Amino acid sequence: MAHTEAADLTCDVAVIGAGTAGLAAERVARSEGARTLLIDDCFAGTTCATVGCMPSKLLVTAGMAAKSVRHASVFGIDAVPEIDGARVMERVRRERDHFVAATRKSFDDLPEGVAVQGRARFTGMSTLVLGDGRTVSARAVVIATGSRPIVPEPFRALGDLIDTNETIFDRETLPESLGVVGGGALGLELAQAFASLGVAVAVFESGDRIGGVKDTVVHDELLRILRTSMTVHLGVEVTPSAGQGGVVLSWDGGSARFDRLLVSTGRAPTLDGLGLDETGIALDDHGVPHFDKTTLQCGDSPIFVAGDADADRPVLHEASNEGTIAGRNAVRFPDVKPVKRDLPFTITFTDPPVAMLGAPADDDSVIGCAPYDDQGRARVMARAEGMVRIYASKPDGLLTGAAMIGPGMDHIAHLLALAILRGETATSLLELPFYHPTLEEGLKPGLRAICHEVHAPLPERDQGVPPGA
């Protein structure tokens, strides 16, 4: 990667942060003819590759492998997994490093002079100063500085006894026991993965829901499934202390000792030290810029914000999309153009996975339920559990959203997302061919229920229903 050495730098678009959003913003701005600078203090790689999506899924997949071995007896195949914690974590790190290396290669492929290593701070709306004294003057600036784990004050004093997602993948082996503070998506993924690998796990969540799941039926099914392999405490505030050779968590009604603690209480935008007070843009109570979600522009300024830095939709595909929108509008400034945002879509990679997409149900929604506890293909796989809740609107059963948990839902959710984006109704989706026996055909009872509720006819192809469909 080549670094710019000039004392004073000028460009059309300066991008602060070389994560997923920043890379997308710089790429699209340069593709549209802008002179760009990509500024980062270390060019370490994206959050996804280093401490997020990829290492977490490596650990999740290891847990699923151990669970599959235990579960094999249902097929008449008796086996007991022998889990080597050091080898599990070694593979996580090795494969993670492969993904990180691929990301870093993209830095090396940048044109000469684009990559600027340093910590940037605003001195005006479109002027920056770097830590080494160099200055940057730009026509527009994209903030894409990502986010960092939130570690509440009581936990910081525990030092090396606690982990966040930014440290846990570097552990040499598995602990005997693990307390997980925070029941968000990543905390649940890692908690279940460790539990499947033989670690005694307990999750502590201060709220009354986990995983951000708003649909009560799907939430309760997720909670039931998780509690088959770990302890989950809802509505508790914990007090940590070092002791008994580990960490002791105390709460109203109990206490427990753990070898290690995973603090997964959310992530905050990395905006401190940017000098946003020098820009004149409006900030919320947490210091995050007010911005237009369709343009990513901060007020009417030449400043744009994208990815986790805006604290809006902290998932990779949204970060990439936001970077593209912000980078393109930074080039166009002041003639920015609004863009229709993607369908809201999240997947939590628990086993089975949870997916939520589209608009949540409201009092006017028609809801079609498709249970998977007796679905044909799920029974064949001995994975019969879960529920799909499909949301639609009157009077024609137009699909608007869904919440689901069950086998294969990380894939099936894409089918429903495409259907919603294309304006399908329950009737028109039933007109598509559903192969038998598949997990996808398990959606049909929910779609039929919507048709019945809105008095829409069933397609002719759906009149003959195969057993277990």
Per-residue three-class SS string for 100-131 = HHHHHHHHHCCCCCCEEECCEEECCCCEEEEC
Q: What pLDDT, on a 0 to 100 scale, did the predictor assign at position 253? A: 86
- Considering the domain architecture, whether residues 107 and 29 belong to the same structural domain is answered as yes
Domain that holds residue 400: 352-457
Question: What is the structure's pLDDT at 196?
Answer: 98
Q: Is residue 80 part of a domain?
A: no
For residues 247-259, average pLDDT: 96
At 7, is the pLDDT very low, low, confident or very high (cuts 50, 70, 90)? Answer: low
296 pLDDT above the threshold of 60: yes
Same domain membership, residue 142 and residue 275: yes
Q: Does residue 5 register a pLDDT over 60?
A: no
Considering the domain architecture, whether residues 15 and 112 belong to the same structural domain is answered as yes
The pLDDT-based confidence of 179 (bands split at 50, 70, 90) is very high
For the residues 347-368, what does the mean pLDDT come to?
Answer: 97
At residue 209, what is the residue type? R
What mean pLDDT comes out for the span 241-253?
Answer: 94
Rounded distance, CA 237 to CA 441, Å? 43
Integer-rounded Cα Rg, in Å, for the chain is 24
Q: What is the mean pLDDT of residues 290-315?
A: 96
Report pLDDT for 465: 56
Q: Is the pLDDT of residue 121 over 90?
A: yes
Q: Verify that 433 and 316 share a domain, yes or no.
A: no
pLDDT at 464 over 90: no
When pLDDT is averaged across residues 111-119 and rounded to a whole number, the result is 96
Q: Report yes or no on 345 lying in a domain.
A: no
Residue 81 domain flag:
no
| pLDDT tier for residue 190 given thresholds of 50, 70 and 90 | very high
In a domain, 61, yes or no: no
User: Are residues 17 and 140 part of one domain?
Assistant: yes
Q: What is the CATH number of the domain that holds 209?
A: 3.50.50.60
The answer to whether residues 21 and 140 belong to one domain is: yes
User: Does the pLDDT at position 468 exceed 60?
Assistant: no
* Co-location of 182 and 309 in the same domain: no
Whether 55 maps to a domain, the answer reads: no
> In the structure encoding, which two tokens stand for residue 24, read together?
């997308």
Work out the average pLDDT over 274-294.
96
Is residue 219 within 8 A of residue 250, CB to CB? The reply is no
Q: Is the pLDDT of residue 469 over 80?
A: no
What integer is the mean pLDDT of 166-171? 97
Domain final position from 297, 332, 367? 332
One domain, residues 277 and 237: no
Does residue 64 lie within any of the structural domains? Answer: no
Asked, for residue 469, whether it belongs to a domain, the answer is no
Looking at the structure of the chain, the number of domains it has is 3
Q: Does 464 fall in a domain?
A: no
Q: Is the pLDDT of residue 286 over 80?
A: yes
| 318 and 231 in a common domain | no
Identity at 297, one-letter amino acid code: Q
Backbone angles phi, psi at 104, to 5 degrees: -65, -30
- The CB density around residue 292, as the number of other CB atoms within 10 Å, is 15
Question: Does the structure show a pLDDT above 50 at 37?
Answer: yes
Looking at 230, 248, 265, the residue that finishes a domain is 265
Exposure letters 380-395 (e unless 16+ CB within 10 A, then b): ebebbbbbbbbbbbee
Instruction: Give per-residue pLDDT as tens, 428-438.
Output: 999 999 999 99
pLDDT at 71 over 80: yes
Which one, of 24, 15, 114, 20, lies nearest residue 325 by Cα? 24
Assign residue 379 the CATH number of its domain: 3.30.390.30
25 and 142 share one domain:
yes
Q: Is the pLDDT of residue 1 over 90?
A: no
Residues 107 and 136 in one domain: yes
Q: What is the mean pLDDT of the chain?
A: 95
Q: What distance in Å separates the CA atoms of residue 363 and residue 297, rounded to the nearest whole number?
A: 34
pLDDT band at 233 (very low <50, low <70, confident <90, very high): very high
Q: Is 274 in the same domain as 141?
A: yes
